[in-house]
Structure 1
Amino acid sequence: MNLRPLTGYAVAGALLAGWEVAGRRSETGLFPPFSDAVRELVAMVEAGSLVTDVLPSAGRALAGFLIGTLLGALLGVTAGWFRGLDPWIRPGLEFLRAIPPPAVLPVAVLALGATSGMRIAVIAAAAIWPVLIAGVDATRAVEPRYVDVARISGLGPPAVLRRVILPAVLPALLAAVRVALGIALIMMVISEMIAATSGLGYLILQAQRTYAMAQMYAGIIVLGLLALAVTAVFALFERRILGWYRGQKGIVDG
């Protein structure tokens, strides 16, 4: 019997048990037991807080993530395909990529207001960079001989892009998309901590400000569960899309 898949659950259970013990021994009230956070989470569900705060947050994160990754893939593959653009765009890309995404929040609030559109734009602006850079580098790394053979075979530029370039860069793009997914969730929370009146980030911040520690940790648990669910869904999507690649490399699940 293979017990290896259960190891992670055993470690997680041990950590939660340690949290419970440490919380019960804490005398400051700033670190409540895990059971208190769970009770607060149940109360939030019964009060409908998850519907009013979590679902809008998840919607904004998903919208920003999709916009950022799709634009990043399109611009990255295009810039990698047209190599002559590199001297013109590389300095600007490197400069913009080096700016921490949270630093643009004050500018975004002034330009777009404290709206859902602003938060989606900030999430997209942060999620775009891993995919864009991966698209540029992966496209340029495609073996030129493959492209030459495709052209000699009579394929036009659109067919070469679809049948040669995209399959070659897809593994690198999806790896970057996985990184962008985490960035999108981070920016979702940060954007809701500034000039917000709702959302998961707002809920966590307000709980911290009012010393409702159990509620704060309940919000963090919800965030962790949301990230876990989204990552699991993306893993299934990635496995389906890259089934041919995993088989080619001899990668075995489990």
Structure 2
Amino acid sequence: MSWYVAKSLDVLLAQLNAKAPNRSKVSDGSIGDASHSARESDHNPTSTGQVCARDFTNDPAGGLAGQWLADALVASRDPRIKYVIWNRRIIDSRAGQHPWQWMPYSGVNAHTHHVHVSVFAGALGDRTDPWNLGGGTKLSGRQLLNGDTHMKLPAEMNTRSEVIALPPDADVKLIFAAKTVIFGGHIYCWSAVPGQGTGGDPVQWRTEVKEGEVIAIPRGTSKAEITYSCASEIDLYVQAIA
């Protein structure tokens, strides 16, 4: 069965990667391994293929402390949150589960190396509005992953190029997400002002683009050509800050 991560968690991943671009991802995860598949877990796909959980590595030195993330999510009271597990405690939003109160967690994994975030299945978990994490992670005027700035690039085992229009009067970032490695990632930019286009890749040619990677596009770019190959379709999000 094909699967995908709930889109709200892709949004959260992109925001955290932008906040802490050098953070460790050693304990990051989405779809469950064999041990998860043997039991009930939000890391397992639903009947529609939606994976409703992500883990985010605790890396204070790299700019992402697990305690900060857990506290920020709880403070937000975001309706997409089903529960959060961190450092031997769990907080659940659902009625009958001591809603929004930290409780002891006695699972096999103490969750001291990563924060587990579960969202509700279905349309709520796929909402793509930005997460309110405080501390400047939600910028005024930012359009992040809404219906106008999300597109799917088709799978292509060879090399494929797609041209997308961009707002030249904004600072633009492209955020890539796919179930397999994206090879290539070469980007050519055209400027709305003659002679000011990059004529090439602003971040150099790379052999792969990692899931959730954020690529900055020079201001003044009116369109970009993305050359890539990938075994699965790519979710491309355009973040524009006026």
Q: Find the structure with the greater CA-based Rg.
A: 1
Shorter-normalised TM-score: what interval?
Answer: under 0.3
Return the structure number with greater strand share: 2
> Larger relative contact order (C-alpha < 8 A, sep ≥ 6)?
1
Return the structure number with greater helix share: 1
Normalised by the size of structure 2, how large is the TM-score?
0.22
Normalised by the size of structure 1, how large is the TM-score?
0.21
